[in-house]
Amino acid sequence: MLSLNPKTLSPSPFNLRSFLIPKKPSISSPSLCVNSTTCCQPNQITERGILFDTGDTFFRHESATGRDLGVLSAALYKQSKGQLRVLDAMCGCGIRSLRYLVESKADFVLANDANESHRRVILDNLAQVERLEGEKKRWVVTHCEANRILTDCYLQRDYFDYIDLDSFGSDSSFFLRAAFSSLKLDGLVYVTSTDGYSSGGHRPFHSLSAFGAYVRPMPYANELGLRILIGGAVREASVLGYRVTPLFSYYSYHGPVFRVLLRMNRGKLPEKR
């Protein structure tokens, strides 16, 4: 398991020349359609060569590396499996969903955010990618509480290859069981915690209720935060009869942010591993 703590944002691991937004309206990319009327709006910025609008949503430039790792892991999954269906449960302005479509070449992305007031900015950002490819939809935007959209997908047997849970605090612990239920076997779930107080041992009863770990103050809160996040996910998966394997972990001091990518399968861990 790899733990990263970069001081600066890394350059994009992708060749984005074919996805860059053209400067002249007369030049168009086959995969992106740019609305020239939105290019002058004050909240528009670029990340890894992709133009998007943040609107009034919560957005951190410093989290770009965490998004890079998510996009890279999704792209590798698509390369390995040949298909990629992504559920972005708390999409914010939609930049992660857009990058999964453009960089990871996702076949379908469900971009969900509970705040319906963000709908316009999400639609404007995702509109850079054609919504339909033949008769198949490339992306859909919904506005439900994360547990509800995850449970609805499970009840409809609409399973996903990759689920991104980019939540605040220790809220990811409330969504893990529903996420595992709506994930395909051998699928990936990218979980988040920004609860630095609990990982630092300052709220031991809160960490106990959220992750099943009673934590006392320690000088290595970054390592501890990743471990209790993984441990909580392992326990939630085991209740459903699944096992999870950590593929990588990432910590960043801003926030702070703890992110872990997990692979889910059915049953116990094999004896020889």
- Asked if 142 and 112 touch (Cβ cutoff 8 Å), the reply is yes
Amino acid at 103: E
- Asked if 143 and 167 touch (Cβ cutoff 8 Å), the reply is no
- φ, ψ for residue 174, nearest 5 deg: -80, -20
Q: How far apart are CA 28 and CA 24, in angstroms?
A: 8
Render pLDDT for 22-75 as a digit per residue (tens, 0 to 9). 444 443 333 444 343 333 455 789 999 999 999 999 999 999 999 999 999 999
Q: Higher-confidence residue: 23 or 188? A: 188
Render pLDDT for 123-182 as a digit per residue (tens, 0 to 9). 999 999 999 998 899 999 999 999 999 999 999 999 999 999 998 877 777 899 999 999
Q: Higher-confidence residue: 110 or 212? A: 110
Render pLDDT for 210-238 as a digit per residue (tens, 0 to 9). 777 788 888 888 898 899 999 999 999 99
pLDDT score for 39: 39
Give the tokens for residue 248. Answer: 């990588």
pLDDT over 80 at 272, yes or no: no
pLDDT over 90 at 108, yes or no: yes
pLDDT-based confidence at residue 120 (cuts at 50, 70, 90):
very high
Whole-structure pTM value: 0.81
Q: Note every long-range contact of 72-77, with CB atoms under 8 Å and residues 24 or more positions apart, other chains counting.
A: 72/13, 72/14, 73/162, 73/188, 73/190, 73/247, 73/248, 73/261, 74/100, 74/104, 74/106, 74/162, 74/188, 75/14, 75/103, 75/104, 75/105, 77/104, 77/161, 77/162, 77/188
Q: How far apart are CA 232 and CA 247, in angstroms?
A: 16
pLDDT score for 273: 58
pLDDT score for 42: 57
Reduced to 3 states, what is the DSSP secondary structure of residue 67? helix
What domains can you pick out in the chain, each with its CATH number?
Answer: 60-266 (3.40.50.150)
Give the tokens for residue 235. Answer: 């326990």
Mean pLDDT score, 240-252: 96
Give the tokens for residue 149. Answer: 């959209």
